[in-house]
Amino acid sequence: MSEAMDPENLREALTYYDSWLAFNQRYQRIPGVQAAVFAGDGIAFSAAYGLADVENAVPLTEQHLFRIASHSKTFTATAVFQLVEQGRLRLDDKASQHVTEIVGTPLGERTIRELLAHAGGITRDSLDADWWQLATSFPDRDELLAILRLDTSVVVPENDRFKYSNIGYGLLGLVVEAAAGTSYNAYVQTAIVDKLGLTGLGPELDPARLSEYAAGYSALSYADQRVPIEHVDTRALASATGFFGNARDLVTYFSAHLPGDDRLLSDKSKREMQHPLWSTGRDENSRYGLGLGVSKVGERDLFGHGGGYPGHITRTLVDGERRLVVSVLTNTIDGTAGPLAEGALKLIDLASSKERGDATGLARFTGRFANLWGVTDFALLGGRLYATDPASPDPTTEPQPLEADGDTLRVTGGSGYGSYGESYRFTFDSDGQVETIRGSSGLTLHPLDRFTLPDRVTRT
């Protein structure tokens, strides 16, 4: 049974999430960020920040398309389970039963289940995979089959450990083709994307829609300036990394994986996909099911997937208990899509962590303020005010709970290194807008949009 959310708590959390994402797109120097949240039975939030094309100053919109890369594995797993439900496949079938070109090879002995779980012990990308930096083309079907036949493509024994493999999911794409009697791209387009009526998703680069794609960019870790990265076809690895999408359609697709939704799969199949099988070794809460990652944010059990494509980093998280889906798409190879997606769920948790407060008259204190030491946000969450640091990767790290008394906010909690028991004293102009805040540590803060630093900070 799903957990009901207070609509006002959700609204306040998403209002601040919007502001926090806008700040972090600029602060982290990400060219563009696109995000959407599905809640209950529909899209509750959708926004875009920054640029789709830096060189031509094209603003990013909610409709721009991103390469969502390894999200493709969830579509491949969904296709496999559809074919299982239709009786065309069994999870314990050997791959070579469907891809006869690899009969007699070690990879031909791997089962569909092992491939879905990344438990086949298969090479991640082969011995020569410079297609990931566009030095070569992604492999076509014959080239993928050649990789699958190599003894070096088996790295560890099957079911020895979690061993992520794009090559293994490329093989699953061939299995889907054989079982479905059509190309992988055609099957997932018809049986998944079109079935949901989504126009902002697709299994591979569509040259006719190239103007709709957000440009991808390189990282700042090895250069002072980002450079654009060309969009390319992923060919036989589409089943591992080919998909494109926008955040709105991506959260809608994942909503079909919520319990009680039979548009794509039965609840039985969805439970099997979402069941945590293998520890990924990343941390104690990071596991993998059959085509889906399974993790925790706070105390919440989540499933979903991320994607890393040259120039685009993306992440989707699903909270089945609360019927929440969050997708964040970034158009740079060092984009922080994961923490940005987690931020939405953490803010909703904070807003819901206590009995709802009385928000009457508190909105006038909210906003973003700065001084020499940084930026402080005053946010309304769950009918209560908090002071928080928007530059933190986690917007709920040590938030200061505040209580209003006239034009003053008293700090009633938080770290002992903060200003527990002290107050923020607000000065308002004749229109009721905040002019200045004398901070809890005695420092003055100004609204960020009016805060400027001189060329040199000197004593006055």
Tokens of 19: 């502001």
- CA angle centred on 42, ends 38 and 46, rounded to 5°: 55
DSSP 154: B
Instruction: Supply the mean pLDDT for the chain.
Output: 96
* pLDDT at 314 (0 to 100): 98
SS3 445: strand
Average pLDDT over residues 151-170: 97
Look at phi and psi of residue 313 and say left if phi exceeds 0, alpha if psi is from -120 to 50, else beta: beta
Distances 21 to 213, 324, 380, 425 between C-alpha atoms, Å: 21, 18, 16, 27
* pLDDT at 418 (0 to 100): 83
* Interval 187-229: pLDDT, tens: 999 999 999 999 999 999 999 999 999 999 999 999 999 999 9
* pLDDT at 210 (0 to 100): 97
Average pLDDT over residues 5-17: 96
Specify whether the CB–CB gap between 295 and 302 falls below 8 A. Answer: yes
* pLDDT at 284 (0 to 100): 86
- Please say if the pLDDT value at position 276 is more than 70: yes
SS3 11: helix
Q: What is the DSSP string of 139-170?
A: P-HHHHHHHHH-GGGB-S-TTSS----HHHHH
Average pLDDT over residues 224-246: 98
Separation of alpha carbons 325 and 253, rounded Å: 10
Separation of alpha carbons 76 and 368, rounded Å: 43
Tokens of 265: 């799969």
Confidence of residue 2 (pLDDT cuts 50, 70, 90): low
Q: Which domains does the chain have, with CATH numbers?
A: 29-351 (3.40.710.10), 363-450 (2.40.128)
Confidence of residue 335 (pLDDT cuts 50, 70, 90): very high
- Please say if the pLDDT value at position 3 is more than 80: no
- CA angle centred on 295, ends 285 and 333, rounded to 5°: 105
Tokens 């020569």 sit at which residue? 128
Specify whether the CB–CB gap between 85 and 265 falls below 8 A. Answer: yes
Residue 245 phi, psi dihedral angles, 5° rounding: 180, 170
Distances 314 to 57, 72, 260, 321, 406 between C-alpha atoms, Å: 22, 12, 27, 23, 44
Share of the chain above pLDDT 70, in %: 100
Surface-to-core class of residue 208, CB atoms within 10 Å of its CB (0-12 exposed, 13-18 middle, 19+ buried): exposed
E-strand ranges in 360-399 read 367-371, 374-381, 384-388
Separation of alpha carbons 278 and 291, rounded Å: 12
Specify whether the CB–CB gap between 377 and 388 falls below 8 A. Answer: yes
Average pLDDT over residues 251-278: 98
Surface-to-core class of residue 457, CB atoms within 10 Å of its CB (0-12 exposed, 13-18 middle, 19+ buried): exposed
User: Which candidate, 250, 302, 334, places its Cα nearest to that of 30?
Assistant: 334
Separation of alpha carbons 18 and 32, rounded Å: 14
Confidence of residue 299 (pLDDT cuts 50, 70, 90): confident
* Interval 393-429: pLDDT, tens: 999 998 999 999 999 999 999 888 888 999 999 999 9
Length of the chain as a residue count: 460
Average pLDDT over residues 348-371: 96
- Please say if the pLDDT value at position 261 is more than 80: yes
- Please say if the pLDDT value at position 4 is more than 80: no
Provide the β-strand partners of residue 369.
Answer: 376, 447
SS3 299: coil
- In terms of DSSP H, where are the helices of 195-354? 238-241, 247-255, 267-274, 337-351
Confidence of residue 454 (pLDDT cuts 50, 70, 90): confident
DSSP 206: -
* Interval 37-77: pLDDT, tens: 999 999 999 999 999 999 999 999 999 999 999 999 999 99
* pLDDT at 460 (0 to 100): 75
Average pLDDT over residues 379-396: 96
196-205, 236-245, 328-337, 450-459 — which is least confidently predicted?
450-459
CB atoms within 10 A of CB 84: 18
Specify whether the CB–CB gap between 331 and 229 falls below 8 A. Answer: no
Separation of alpha carbons 148 and 184, rounded Å: 18
Tokens of 59: 């603003």
Separation of alpha carbons 376 and 317, rounded Å: 27
Separation of alpha carbons 428 and 445, rounded Å: 13
